[in-house]
Structure 1
Amino acid sequence: MLLLEAFVALFFALVLYGLRITDGQTAALIGGGVGALALASAGLMRTRVGLVLGTVTQVALLAAGILLPDMILLGIIFAILWGVSVYLGTKIDRERGERYEAELAHFRASGSLE
């Protein structure tokens, strides 16, 4: 999902420039910054830093609505998807940990792990 947001940031920059909302350098800086943030957070997703950067990416995408109001809708959609992804990912990780502990206890009780 964060990789898709990097593409959205690229297209956002192109729209800013194409509609003459900002100059090319500012559009590239804004779109490149949000895109780089999305890529960095995608690369760090296995750590707590990745979750924090991913959340900051969502806020940045919502803030893009200041320059282009249509981005508010995209920002809301991506923020909802981000929230659901974090919730389900955390739930899956917790359930995997519980299953691992249950299987480990079973193997220890049966004596087949020694």
Structure 2
Amino acid sequence: MSKDQPAPGDRIKAKKSALVQFTSTTLLLEVFLVIFATMVVWALRDSEFGRGPLRIDSGAAVWALGGVLCLVLVILSRAQGTTAGRAAGTVAQVPVLAMGLLLPMMYFVGGIFVVLWFYALRLGSRVDRERAEYDAAHPETAPNVS
């Protein structure tokens, strides 16, 4: 018996969904993006340089907005196992992009993350579909679902 092939009766652990892994990771990376963008907005609150059309001069308000968005993104990263969680993650891309109102560079960087989000949805679905097709064609190596 080959080392790559499981022995008869071996339990093969089911793989985690690639869709869930990709979307959760993207949302968690966006948390870091929002934290860093919040720090920049906070540091520039008394400056005209690099500011967007929406002005928030209160440091507490800047941190409150950034903190709430970070908290929402962390919670949504844990909810990616459901269709509703992925829909909410898609809606959460709007405030990430809207941070460009505070910091214009966020239109660009947030836009990159929005593209990554939709790519994670597309690629994750494709990987899960191909895994399912492979498992159906090779039941001897398919994970045991108990």
Q: Same fold per TM (> 0.5)?
A: yes
**Match in the other structure for 1:68:** 103
Offset at residue 34 of structure 1 (A)? 1.6
- Matches of residues 35-74 of structure 1 in structure 2 within 5 Å? 35-74=70-109
Amino acid at match of 1:9: V
Higher mean C-alpha deviation, range 68-77 or range 49-58: 49-58
Equivalent residue letter for 1:5: E
Q: How does 1:3-18 map to 2 (within 5 A)?
A: 3-18=28-43
Aligned structure 1 segments of 4 or more residues deviating by more than 3 angstroms: none
Match in the other structure for 2:137: 102
Aligned-pair identity in percent equals 37
- Partners of 1:41 and 1:49 within 8 A in 2: no
TM-score, normalized by length of structure 1? 0.82
Q: Deviations over 1:87-108 (max 9, x none)?
A: 000001111122222234x8xx
- Higher relative CO (Cα under 8 Å, sequence separation at least 6) belongs to 2
- Give the TM-score normalised by structure 2: 0.65
Unmatched 5+ stretches in structure 1: 107-114
- The yes-or-no answer on 1:82 pairing with 2:117 is yes
Q: Please, which runs of 5 or more residues in structure 2 have no aligned partner? A: 1-25, 46-54, 141-146
Aligned partner of 1:111 in structure 2 is: none
Structure richer in helix, relative to its length: 1
Query: Alpha carbon RMSD of aligned pairs, Å?
Result: 1.8
Q: State the shift of 1:19 in Å.
A: 0.7
Q: Secondary structure at the match of 1:29?
A: helix
Deviation, 1:52, is: 1.5
Paired residues of 1:65 and 1:72 also in contact (CA < 8 A): yes
1:23-54 residue CA offsets vs partner (Å, 9 max, x unmatched): 11211121112211211121112221321222
Give 1:80 shift. Answer: 0.9
